[in-house]
Structure 1
Amino acid sequence: MPTVATAFHEFDEAYKRSGPWWRDRGLVTLNLALLVIYITQGNNGYDSALISGYQAMQPWRADLGNPSPSKIGFLNLVAYCAGLSTAPIAAYASDRWGRRLCLRYAALTMVVGSVLGTCAGEGNTSAYGLFLGSRAIIGSGLAFAVIISPILLQELPHPSQRQTAASLFNTCYILGSIVAAWTIFGTGSLSTSWSWRIPYIIQIGPAMFALVAVFFVPESPRFHLGRGDEQACLDFLVRYHGNGEETELVRFEYEEMKDTLRKEREATQFGWSILWATSANRRRTALVLWVGFCQCMSGQAIITFYYTSILSLVGLKDTRRVTGINGGLQIFNWMASLLGVWLVPRVPRRKLLMTAWVGVLVSNVWLIVASALYAQNGGKGAGIAAVVAVWLYDFFFNLVCGPLFFSYTAEVLPFYMRAKGMMANALLTKSLSIFNSYVNSVALASIGWKYYLVYTVLIVIQLAGWYALAVNTNGLTLEEIALLFEKPEGAVPDVDRAVAVAHLAHLKSNSKFDDESLRSPSTPGEGPSSSSLRK
């Protein structure tokens, strides 16, 4: 069996010896199952983009009684409130009955909510009330999907594919937004209620597929092991990671999971207080919450849900033009997120996050200046500059949000904290989204571009927070990442030092190594090099 010192080398070599992954029946089966998770997130992105697009459609406004900015904000607000109330249930259910149950509930609520929303305004029903109810039902399921999907994408994939598989998760959200934007662009020329009902009906199809296909998604091996079913855990690893064989890699993964979960089980006496029980856990929790804060309070939420309002501030109000620009923006965002997927395994986490946030700050200032100039003289050049600023804003945000925000929060949390930590992140993001969904629409209508200044201050604070909290996790397994935070003085921000810390921690916890093996791995010829452990 390989030692920890050769763990990443074994992972990499076993992966290379097997040839392309599509020739490995186990990996093909597993990766096809992961598509269900991606489709679920794609549907979430599709649904979230609808409200922004509907604001430019007169038939939708007319059918809902020409809702005020406050009422439009309330449509988003109720979805987040529903998610806020169900987030604790999702964390409990995933730990008690498994991860897949939560995906089933998310798909079911999408089907039911979409049917109700499509029927809004038909017969004697209250159009706004029924549509509001559909948003609440869908929102309750979104919390389950957002909490559990990133966990599954950390716990199911092959170690050599984990970073890429997890990074692709939120790019599917943007892909769903692209489909929604261009669907609305296509139906926007219709003058009847079908202009907005057709896009709502379309999202029922993927949700129905996910509802059925989730039965083919395997349960997490760490969940099996956490419940004491060691054989089910080993069977999963043999079938999917070993292509039917109990390889050295499979045995190493299995033993490493057992050892880590045994130590983690000793800490479960703290219950929910485990999130702040130790300095290492407080650091993990702080990082997870910081990701949620930056995700919601960088100003990008204004663009996502009130893109139509932003463009109207610079003179763009034609439905065809607004929906076309939005469709192009979503494609641009997806390309940015794919670039981020490529960068994630190559650029240290903290460097990537800080670089992106500098770009967000520059874009924010650019948008303020362009919007202010347009407000003063109404020049066409200033309006174009504002649109460019919006695109750059989204580019830098999606460079890290697309591939990193959901995967990063899940990977820095050990198994016994993962569902609880993701729930804490979801509670924070839902709470902040409630603020955004209601306050943003009112603030934009009241003070216009001046509201962007609030986010300028927040972005500067967030940039400092990334420097203080972000930890580089490139090329490490979940068990190795868990060790990074156990260093007495806090998390290790440097990958090379992190590998050394993880190596020493494992050696010191294993009695079969003698004192000679505990010498510093920084000594030439001793211990692993970072390059050998990154795969």
Structure 2
Amino acid sequence: MHMSAGNEAFRSIPNKDSHLPWYKNAGLLQLNLFLLCIFTGQFLNGYDGALISSFQAMNSWLTTLGLKGSSDKATNIGLLNAAVYLAGLCISPFAAWVSDRFGRKWCIRYSSIANLIGTAIGAAAGAGSTNGYAMFMMSRIIIGSGLAFCVMISPIMLQELPHPKHRVLMAGLFDVAYIAGSFVSAWVTFGCSYISNDWAWRIPYLIHLPFAAIMIILISLVPESPRWLFKQGREEEGKAFMVKYHANGGENDELVAFEVSEIKEALRIEREAKQDTWKMILSSRSSLHRLACVVLIVTMQNLSGTAIIAYYYTSILKLVGITQTSTQTGINAGLTSFTVVMALLGVWLTKRIRRKTQIYISWTGVLLSNIGLIVSTALYTQTGHKSAGLAAVFFVWIYNGSFFLSCGPIFFSYPAEVLHLSMRSKGMMIWTICGKVMSVFSSYVNPVAMTNIAWKWYFFYTAILVVTGILAHFVLVETKGRTLEEIGELFDGKMLQAHVDPTSYELGSDDEKMSEKSLKNV
């Protein structure tokens, strides 16, 4: 029997133990627990990203780094933020090479090690006779290089490893892990803000360590991507992965046969088109369309104006008259709690409405709250009315919440989703490089602009929101309900003919040569 790949075709194919909840299916339970390693990396990314914003409200941190009362304070804080992205920008091409050459797992290993080393250096900044700012800068560079590896490869793994029926959910939850990290960071720094010495910021910084250690331990247990294994010609290991985790050991499972057939057919098409070289990628209309989707999404992700909230929330609160440290950190903690709720709502919506519809809803909220923030901040600056200041805080919450309604479940998963297997690492490298360039710009320019022109700087983001919102309608494709290989049809116009005859891909009787070692290796 042949089945033409189509919208949600896999849902009609018999799959062993599919009637059981995932937590009662040994294969799915084990696989989903392994994926916690990937979520831990994104949790660390979110935790780290929220720290600097909170630290700016701590006099002990400013004093230790020599920033208290400094005329170059805004510039130096901007450099600290930019260092994370510059490190990621420089190392991203190497991450793509490691991922394609040695496998996805090595990128996560490096990320864990970099977090451990960078945290130790940063937590010791300013101790004894050391130069606090220089050591903290070194820490940010090392951690930034590790986060780049993790953020670039994790979305790929969350597309390639999960069961087809869980892929969208797992990919959508990825950024929820980021927000959860921000949530923990905000509340930890809020609690530590009452400490009157350097431990007020050293304790939150040291909390990187246990999570990085968990990643190092778990990544050795996580199986390698089956799609990467197929691309390397290690088909038996790739099939063994599908049998063990997607079919709970069912060697003649029809869904496994369907997945294997789709992957092999997609690879055949890619090989015939020679779509794995930069020359072919840049000369292929379908590949350029994929890259256009990736660049547009990363632009929406990084130039929405939320970077001001993430890294300079303290400056915004001071701008509207909220200056007490405990009040600032408390409001920040409340914001992250609200963001978690909105991100989870976004994940819930992803299974129920179209991707583009969800982006339209989210972007409308972001644009309207951007305008509201401009008006309320301008009124407070001109009149000093407390109500205008409170309105500005309200619009900051709506701004962030609306953004994460789509950023959480879509912006991290969509780029890896639209890239075919042979260009996935290369395309995600482009995504990472573009993101880092935009983040360097934002992290360095935002504090200077906020210091010099204050609320007027928001107009820059208003223009970007309008342009990207219009482009999203014409450039992005709708991917809801399709497997990774089926999404390729939207760009290439070629229908995959997926063979779902289990006798063609019987993984037991005809593959006796596949040893126990093959199963253990995955």
- The 8 Å contact of residues 96 and 426 in structure 2, kept in 1 or not, is answered as yes
Tell me what 1:71 maps to.
Answer: 76
Corresponding residue SS for 2:277: helix
Question: Residues 18 and 24 of structure 1 are in contact (CA less than 8 Å); yes or no, is this contact kept in structure 2?
Answer: no
Match of 2:448 among 442, 446, 452: 442
What is the alpha-carbon distance in structure 1 between the residues aligned to residue 280 and residue 344 of structure 2? Answer: 35
- Where does 1:102-141 land on structure 2 (aligned, <5 Å)? 102-141=107-146
C-alpha RMSD over aligned residues: 1.6
SS in 1 for 2:157: helix
Q: Does 1:433 align with 2:404?
A: no
Per mean C-alpha deviation after superposition, the further-off stretch among 467-476 and 50-59 is 467-476
Distance 1:270 1:98, change over 3 A: closer
State yes or no: 1:3 paired with 2:3. yes
| Cross-structure match for 2:90 | 85
* 1:446-494 deviation per Cα after TM superposition (whole angstroms, max 9, x unaligned): 011011011111111011111111211111000000111123xxxxxxx
Q: 2:488 is matched by which residue type in structure 1?
A: A
Q: Distance in 1 between matches of 2:238 and 2:331?
A: 48
Structure 2 match to 1:234: 239
CA contact (8 A) 2:39 2:177 kept: yes
SS at match of 1:3: strand
Match of 2:490 in 1: 484
1:287-326 mapped onto 2 (5 Å cutoff):
287-326=293-332
**Conserved? CA contact 1:12–1:160, under 8 Å:** no
**1:410-421 superposed matches below 5 A:** 410-421=416-427
Identity %: 47
One-letter identity of the residue aligned with 2:120: V
Offset at 1:352? 1.1
Aligned residues: 494
Deviations 1:306-330, CA, capped at 9 Å, x for gaps: 0000111000110000000000100
Are the equivalent residues in 2 in contact too, given 1:287–1:469 (CA < 8 A)?
yes
Which residue pairs with 2:212 in the alignment? 207
CA shift for structure 1 position 12: 5.0
How many angstroms does 1:203 deviate by? 1.2
User: Which residue number in structure 2 is paired with residue 494 of structure 1?
Assistant: none
TM-score normalized by structure 2? 0.92
Distance across 2 between alignment mates of 1:77 and 1:471: 32
After alignment, is 262-271 or 58-67 more displaced? 262-271
Task: Kindly state the Cα deviation for residue 267 of structure 1 after the two structures are TM-superposed.
Answer: 3.4
How many Å separate the matches in 1 of 2:8 and 2:352?
Answer: 16
Q: Output one character per residue of 1:119-171: Cα deviation in whole Å (capped at 9) or x when no partner.
A: 00112210000000000000001111111000000000000110001100011
Aligned to 2:350: 344
Counterparts of 1:441 and 1:102, CA distance in 2: 32
Q: 1:8, CA displacement in angstroms?
A: 3.7
2:271 aligned with 1:265, yes or no? yes
Alpha-carbon distance in 2 for matches of 1:329, 1:12: 42
Structure-to-structure mapping, 1:451-490, within 5 angstroms = 451-487=457-493
Give the corresponding residue for 2:496: 506
CA–CA distance in structure 2, aligned partners of residues 65 and 114 of structure 1: 19
TM-aligned CA deviation for residue 266 of structure 1: 2.9
> The residue matched to 1:216 in structure 2 has which SS?
coil
- How big is the shift at 1:11? 3.2
Residue aligning to 1:490: none
Distance (Å, rounded) in 2 between the aligned partners of 1:327 and 1:424: 33
Separation in 2, partners of 1:191, 1:360: 38
**1:268/1:416 contact within 8 Å kept:** no
Q: 1:119 to 1:47 in 2, by over 3 A?
A: same
Amino acid in the other structure paired with 1:506? L
Equivalence map 1:92-241=2 (5 Å):
92-241=97-246
Deviation at 1:337, TM superposition (A): 0.6
What residue identity is the alignment partner of 1:43? L
Counterpart-to-counterpart distance in 2, 1:381 and 1:436: 29
- Could you tell me how far apart the structure 1 residues matched to 2:358 and 2:469 are? 12
Match of 1:409 among 415, 426, 448: 415
Rounded to whole Å, the distance in 2 between the matches of 1:80 and 1:114 is: 16
Q: 1:241, 1:250 within 8 Å by CA — same for their partners in 2?
A: yes
- Give the one of 392, 396, 399 matched to 1:393: 399
Q: 1:73 to 1:233 in 2, by over 3 A?
A: same
What is the distance in 1 between the residues matched to 2:113 and 2:330? 31
Shift of 1:269: 6.3
Q: Distance in 1 between matches of 2:384 and 2:376?
A: 10
TM-score (ref. length: structure 1): 0.90
* Contact 2:7/2:482 (<8 A) preserved: no
Q: Cα offset for 1:506?
A: 3.1
Q: Tell me the equivalent position of 1:377.
A: 383
Alignment partner of 2:485: what SS?
A: helix
One-letter amino acid matched to 1:450: K
